[in-house]
């Protein structure tokens, strides 16, 4: 992948703009704070509620979404994917003017044509590869998370400058700013979430915990071995890769993992993963998720509640209580 270097001219161009953070959730708050600490002129647009109040408590000038759109040059749309299109249609699109930039942290709504911006605005992507609290924490520590940057529409001739300046100001120039596209960012992000990060890994952990409990082992021990220790291994992979991870764990663990792990990756599993990717690429997943939201998200809430009531979750609660008692 190609990387970008942000020049002083790029930074100064960006810092001459007023930025509206639209949506003060996890990412919105982290990015707003980082931008302000980098010297940017930042306001917040949000609907009334807890996020609106928190932005005010953090010292930002907070407006309705439509008012913020009219007061800013760069509009960072950081509302949830499933809500952004409706908010855009009602509170953003009617107030856009020539020369503004629509900036997205995820390409979902552009790729699947849920948001179709007018031709007279720039449309860019600056997607930090980390959750909001990490974006903020690493910035405060003097680092940053890598970001993917792309230009979808360049009406002004300066769209890339804006995207690079934004990525630098949230801290990504301290790590890496990588060239991408809305398509690649969205499809790989959704696939990774579903097949691995939020789907495959939790499902594999739950299956392993259930097997040990069914075999008669204490639930807390099953959770400790199959779930709690995952972070230790992931941290090693994150820092230095798989080779360093195998060097750091015991030889027994390395041999057992290498020789047994691939047994789990059957041709059926690969086929299922390819089907997940197909659903992402075709837009089928996006349609399903947007429809779920518009139907009230009842099925989604039921799925989350079922996950909270699983045997694995109960074992995890019990194990964490043991740790809390030990540390008191």
Residue at 3 is within a domain: no
Q: pLDDT, tens digit, for every residue of 179-204?
A: 999 999 999 999 999 999 999 999 99
- For the chain, the domain total comes to 2
Q: Which pLDDT does position 325 carry in this prediction?
A: 76
The verdict on 94 and 154 lying in the same domain is: yes
The verdict on 42 and 166 lying in the same domain is: yes
Q: Examine the residue annotation and report whether 106 is marked as an active-site residue of this protein.
A: yes
Q: Which residues are CB-contacts of 98 (< 8 A; sequence separation ≥ 6)?
A: 120, 121, 155
Q: pLDDT, tens digit, for every residue of 135-175?
A: 999 999 999 999 999 999 999 999 999 999 999 999 999 99
Mean pLDDT of the chain: 95
Nearest to 195 by CA among 284, 271, 134, 95: 271
The verdict on 323 and 251 lying in the same domain is: yes
The verdict on 157 and 117 lying in the same domain is: yes
* Domain region containing 97: 8-180
Tokens 């069914």, residue? 214
The verdict on 175 and 30 lying in the same domain is: yes
Strand pairing class (41-45; 62-63): parallel
Q: pLDDT, tens digit, for every residue of 99-116?
A: 999 999 999 999 999 999
Residue tagged active-site, from 106, 158, 228, 299: 106
> Which residues on neighbouring strands pair with residue 124, listed in sequence order?
103, 151
Count CB neighbours of 29 within 10 A: 23
**pTM for the full predicted model:** 0.91
The verdict on 174 and 206 lying in the same domain is: no
């Amino acid at each position: 992948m190609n990387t970008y270097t942000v020049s002083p001219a790029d930074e100064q161009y960006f810092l001459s703009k007023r930025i509206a953070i639209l949506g003060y959730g996890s990412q919105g708050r982290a990015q707003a704070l980082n931008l302000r600490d980098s010297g940017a002129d930042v306001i917040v647009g949000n609907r009334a509620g807890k996020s609106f109040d928190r932005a005010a408590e953090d010292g930002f000038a907070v407006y309705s979404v439509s008012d913020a759109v009219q007061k800013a040059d760069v509009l960072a749309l950081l509302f949830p994917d499933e809500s952004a299109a409706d908010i855009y249609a009602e509170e953003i699109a009617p107030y856009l003017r020539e020369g503004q930039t629509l900036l997205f942290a995820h390409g979902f709504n552009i790729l699947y044509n849920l948001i179709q911006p007018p031709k007279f605005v720039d449309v860019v992507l600056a997607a930090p590869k980390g959750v909001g609290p990490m974006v903020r924490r690493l910035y405060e520590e003097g680092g940053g998370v890598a970001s993917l940057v792309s230009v979808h529409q360049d009406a002004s001739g300066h769209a890339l400058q804006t995207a690079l300046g934004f990525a630098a100001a949230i801290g990504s120039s301290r790590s890496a700013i990588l060239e991408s596209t809305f398509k690649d960012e969205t499809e790989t992000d959704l696939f990774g979430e579903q097949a691995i990060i939020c789907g495959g890994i939790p499902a594999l952990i739950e299956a392993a915990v259930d097997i040990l409990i069914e075999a008669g082992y204490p639930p807390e021990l099953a959770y400790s071995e199959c779930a709690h220790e995952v972070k230790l291994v992931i941290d090693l992979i994150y820092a230095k890769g798989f080779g360093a991870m195998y060097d750091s764990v015991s030889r027994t663990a390395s041999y057992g993992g290498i020789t047994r792990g691939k047994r789990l990756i059957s041709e059926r599993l690969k086929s299922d993963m390819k089907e997940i990717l197909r659903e992402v690429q075709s837009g089928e997943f996006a349609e399903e998720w947007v429809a779920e939201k518009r139907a009230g998200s009842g099925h989604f809430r039921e799925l989350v509640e079922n996950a909270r009531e699983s045997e694995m979750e109960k074992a995890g609660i019990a194990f964490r209580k043991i740790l809390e008692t030990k540390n008191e």
